[in-house]
Amino acid sequence: MIEGLFVVLEGVDGAGTTTHTRLLANALKERGLPVHSTREPSDGPIGVQIRQILTGRLVVPGLHGPRPPSWTTMALLFAADRVDHIESSIVPNLMDGVTVISDRYYHSSVAYQSVTGGDDDETIAWVKEINKHARKPDLTMVLDISPEASAKRRIDRGGGHEMFDDNDLQKQIGAFYDRIDAHFPGENLVHIDSARPIADVHQDVMGHVRRLRGEKV
């Protein structure tokens, strides 16, 4: 059996990774292709714990009261969740010939944990090191959007405040995504302007996936 393709969508909060993961999965299913869509943090036991931290439901003791875990703890939790995600979901589906589409992957860890850890070379190298055994995607699409547009989308979608929702932090993370190619040399990584209408962005997403499949676009 031919192994399936592994596709990842990346970007800041509000870039549209969840929307375009869903649209891409639906479009491929409509063409009769076996597809498994997933996300990180995953829905596994460690991923559920991370989501509780992100929403403030799980905290640790601090000198001045309860606080979120440190950036190093978060980086290790994300890496552990990723290993479990790969072993329990991603690889089994790929081995069955299923196309796997993930809403975020290790690129998010490098972007988010590196920025929260100081955005220096040593921090970036460490985050990459603890993720070095993760399976590389066949295609990673980074959805680019301005800090102002992504902030407006986060407000419009509502929901509770999460750990990384701070606008200044998201601006720094967005700047990191702008240069993220340099941290993953040799990977098939493309940028897509996601500030445009959803249909236009989806067309570009599909175009890159079709090229990956060897189709004429």
Report field, pTM of the whole predicted structure over 0.75: yes
Query: Do 10 and 104 contact (CB within 8 A), yes or no?
Result: yes
Distance, CA of 50 to chain centre: 14
What is the pLDDT, as a whole number, of residue 7?
Answer: 98
Give the structural domain span for 153: 6-40+71-212
What is the pLDDT, as a whole number, of residue 159?
Answer: 66
Classify residue 89: in a domain, yes or no.
Answer: yes
Q: Mind listing the pLDDT tens digit for each residue in 55-93?
A: 989 888 888 889 889 999 999 999 999 999 999 999 999
Classify residue 117: in a domain, yes or no.
Answer: yes
* Closest to 75 measured CA to CA, from 49, 106, 101, 121: 106
Euclidean distance between CA atoms 78 and 117, whole angstroms? 14
Weakly modelled stretches of the chain, pLDDT under 50: none
Q: How many domains does the chain have?
A: 1
Euclidean distance between CA atoms 39 and 201, whole angstroms? 20
Q: Can you give the CATH number for the domain in which 128 is found?
A: 3.40.50.300
- Stretch (H or E) spanning 132: none
What is the pLDDT, as a whole number, of residue 29?
Answer: 97
How many CB atoms within 10 Å of residue 62?
A: 11
Classify residue 66: in a domain, yes or no.
Answer: no
